[in-house]
Amino acid sequence: MEANGLGVGFLVVGAGFLGAQRAAAIMAARGCRLVAVHDANPEVAKVVGRQHGVRVVADYASALSWDEVDAVVIATPHADHFEQASMALEAGKGVLCEKPLTVRPEEARQLAHRADELQFRLATGLNHRFYPPIRDALALVSDWAIGRVEHVEAEIGHMASPEFLRSWHTDISRAGGGTLMDNGPHACDLVRRFLGEVVAARGNVSNPLGLPEGCESEATAWFRDHDRGTAEVRSSWTLPKGYLTIDIRGTEGRLHIETAPWKLTGVLETGRRITKRYLAERVSERRFRGLFGCERSLVREMEAFVTKPGGTQPRLEATGWDGCRVTEMIDAVYRSNTLGQEIPLKERQVRIVAGEPVGVAQEPWG
């Protein structure tokens, strides 16, 4: 919702690749306005600030006291997320934090609980939910168009460039892990969306690229739900082509999703075959990126974040509790790799207030 009729004011923390995209998305999103940018490297922040004509702030803590800042977008190295998100919540700001929400599950649970206690919105940046083929597949699964989902397979990743491998992503103290912590959150989140809540995980990680210890370049994870449903996730920094593919098998049909480029195929319970190539949407997306400098999915995620909850429909964006569960799933895979056994996932203890949606705090705006 709008704050004082001007739109929700955002401070972007982290002005690297993702932070710059997030800043551009705020500029393009309805009901949003970019107030300022902060980065540990002032020169990087100045580039983004000049591009959008907004202030560059050197001190994150002081910017949190500004009345015009209603919410914070965090796009920094993973290990910084917990402290920065905690500071924002305690200052009375809503938070959209890039995935992973945190690198430690206990910290993610603490953030989600605290956001509910303070009644401020906490969301996790998992924008792949807004990709057209994923959006349409979620709708089909929700309508039972392929029956009950029995198995989901997801593969995600890229061929890591030398520049990427020299970045903070391979510094375990800042990244918290390798490809599973980097790309894996998107796949884990979508497994939950298609399959339902997972109750156990196992997996293994490997390092064919010879990266520093604890920073895997390959990971395979297996999950199961409470009703015999299963899922497999492969996350890789050596993927030769594509980015994210998902196969969903139901009792009455199947779906196949590709995201590079967008495509959705499958067989529904009626026997009807579907093929959607999204040609018009792909052309529109290229134009949009050229005009605004970001993916449209990021804009849709920002607009969902500032939209006041209402009715019985679930939130479109990933909540803090969604991000918490994803962190728990990834941690369980790492522990399974170490212990050589399946790891059960704890039930989430969430305080429920009558008449209030869980994980969706009351906004301080509008």
| Angle at 294 (CA atoms; ends 123, 80), nearest 5 degrees | 45
pLDDT at 308: 76
Judge whether residue 311 has pLDDT over 70.
no
Given a cut of 70, is residue 359 above it in pLDDT? no
3-state SS class at 230 = strand
Neighbouring-strand partners of residue 223:
201, 231
Q: Which pLDDT band holds residue 364 (cuts at 50, 70, 90)?
A: very low
The span from the CA of 327 to the CA of 335, in Å, is 12
> What is the overall mean pLDDT for the chain?
92
pTM of this structure: 0.92
| pLDDT on residue 352 | 46
At 2, the pLDDT band (50, 70, 90 cuts) reads very low
- Residue 123 identity (one-letter amino acid): A
Helical packing angle, 296-305 and 17-28, nearest 10°:
60
pLDDT, average across residues 80-91: 98
8-state DSSP, 312? S
Q: Is the pLDDT of residue 165 over 90?
A: yes
User: What's the full length of the chain, in residues?
Assistant: 366
214: left (phi over 0), alpha (psi -120 to 50) or beta: left
Q: What is the mean pLDDT of residues 151-168?
A: 97
Residue type, 91: A
| pLDDT per position as a tens digit, 273-303 | 999 999 999 999 999 999 999 999 999 999 9
Q: Tokens at residue 14, please?
A: 């982290």
Contact 302, 26 (CB under 8 A): yes
Runs of H (alpha helix) within the chain: 17-28, 42-52, 60-63, 81-90, 105-118, 132-142, 162-165, 172-175, 179-182, 184-195, 279-292, 296-305, 320-339
Tokens representing 88 are 């924002």
* CB 101, CB 81: distance < 8 Å: yes
Token pair of 4 as six digits: 């004082």
Determine the average pLDDT of the residues in 206-220: 97
Task: Please determine, for residue 3, whether its predicted confidence score (pLDDT) is greater than 60.
Answer: no
Of 94, 79, 85, which Cα lies nearest the Cα of 13?
A: 85
**Preceding amide of 100 cis, omega within 30:** yes
Cα distance between residue 38 and residue 16, in whole Å? 10
What per-residue confidence (pLDDT) applies to 354? 44
Which is more confident, 352 or 94?
94
State the pLDDT at residue 346. 83
- Residue 355's pLDDT band (boundaries 50, 70, 90)? very low
Average pLDDT over residues 239-264: 96
- pLDDT given for residue 6 in this prediction: 75
Work out the pLDDT band at 264, boundaries 50, 70, 90: very high
For helices 320-339 and 105-118, angle between their N-to-C axes, nearest 10 degrees = 160
Q: Is the pLDDT of residue 353 over 70?
A: no
* Sign of the Cα pseudo-torsion (141, 142, 146, 147, in order): positive
Other beta carbons less than 10 A from residue 155's beta carbon = 19
Sheet holding 343-344, edge to edge: 273-276, 262-267, 254-259, 244-250, 149-157, 230-236, 218-225, 198-206, 343-344
Share of the chain above pLDDT 90, in %: 88
Q: Which domains does the chain have, with CATH numbers?
A: 1-126+293-366 (3.40.50.720), 129-277 (3.30.360.10)
329-344 pLDDT, tens digit per residue, is 999 999 999 999 999 9
C-alpha distances (whole Å) from 138 to each of 192, 194, 248, 251 are 11, 7, 10, 16
Q: What is the model's pLDDT at position 365?
A: 35
**Looking at the predicted structure, is the pLDDT value of residue 100 above 60?**
yes
Instruction: State whether residue 123 is helix, strand or coil.
Output: strand
Cβ atoms of 57 and 14 closer than 8 Å = no
Please give the average per-residue pLDDT across 349-363, as a whole number.
43
What is the C-alpha separation between 282 and 26, in angstroms, rounded?
Answer: 21
What pLDDT does 347 receive?
74
Structure tokens at 93: 């700001």
